[in-house]
Chain A
């Protein structure tokens, strides 16, 4: 008894010390994963980008619903199909006091192909740029190799770094694919772990970066967009779901991203605030369209998935509402398209109904009254409750006679196996970072062609030449109204053919203390700059 009286206050004291007081001056955020580098041009990964976005800016920005708005460029115009003029913002300074000019933009684009060892380079956006010239310090012309209506959208991914800080020469001349001149000695990614190198124009300055532990940012008082809300921002990776929630509940952090759906009731009961938004990510089923598909039995060697009736049956057998309600805890929306309406190129197509009777009929019509056996591939650590959703799908397919075995593996193995076409049917997700229908169509269902770069993620090898032609046309149309219509038409073609089966759109969730507010973002980014003290 005496022992207990002694230990209690000590433990309580420790706990109290563990809580960083949530004064309006400091914001602590628990992140789901850790940025691999502070170099904004190193790794094209949302984890890195969302941290970098606090320190660095781009010519354009995207608001919470992925609408493109001015960033470091105040305005822009397309002069012809391949030439764009950008008017840069004046009076913007970098964290070290140097002035932002067109030279910094050219330097930044030039550096992208020169970043070494990048596991996912930003060159996929910069490679299409043929030339850049500075008309004056604040006017820039960009010439693209091909017509690219999405240029302003894509520019938001390309962070602007400071040419002077990184040691560029006075005169920088643009050349495509790493042939720029006047670059000087280009610092590589590891150098950016120092606040002296990681210099941007963003609202926060890098203070310290302790790998595995935290990123500390401090307010940049001369920020052009007004004084940021927080004196200090601490971003801490807490990769396990449970501890991340517990850290919020215990008050260690003020806000967390991606709390597990099943914990939301508890979080709300604790008086904390939960906000969510429909994301741009759709979870879908893709079916093998080559003659011999592996992992199917009971069909005399035929691939039943070649029959559109079988594909329709699969879609009708799935009770999407039950998945949303039961597995996703209501934090998802049943999907009828590849991108949630009203995003660009969507057609408001209704969600396929749940109709197991009709599904059985279709199977019988297609010549499989007794169903068949199939293996459903899924990652188990990539999407929200992915393994659970796949099991529920298997359960529903079993009800109409398709005996389904779930083959779940970690993302690392799943993606390699999927790319080797090991699954007859697989579940995966697609987030359209551009917020535009051309993104899922081009990657998921356009005919696979390594030479043109079409259909890179089309591991079902679905092919519809008519759709391909329409998509290509849309992708080189600058007129938004026309493009919108063409994309809608192309998407409808694929969905009518059941070339891909959308399941649901994920919802992104954030949980925070009640005295904070955050406008939930479609792109799933957690950005400290957008966290505000709630007005009460």
Chain B
């Protein structure tokens, strides 16, 4: 069964937003819907979307792969995106990435056996002054991610606490002004 088979009303609403001969414009909302509901967009869904908007699976794949938001492989309950562009890199994003992959035992495209976590390196998230930055799912950023803050974050998420609550439990290392220094070099913060 197709994903959109039981969403005809929603589809009609989306298509109504665009001129009739520009149905292709509905590509993004449709992709977004699948990503939101299923956590990723698999090839069958891409073909289904292509058929609905009147294009080829190739174009859907082209659009989808342009945006880091869309996933082609299944993701965990908490999909962690790590910014790896210059500012965050200087602030220790490489070490953060290293710690994360070690700690979770996964690489991009994989999901932890408990189905909780998946990982992705992304380009600039636009919060250079608070690097290194990660984003969990669609939630607001977690900033200045030192090793201690990371540990606390993962600890909280393991217990499936809401992110807002977990956020409150993170050690406040901002004031120490050491976030960047602590993660710098091997081993990171002690």
Task: Decide whether A and B are members of one complex.
Answer: no
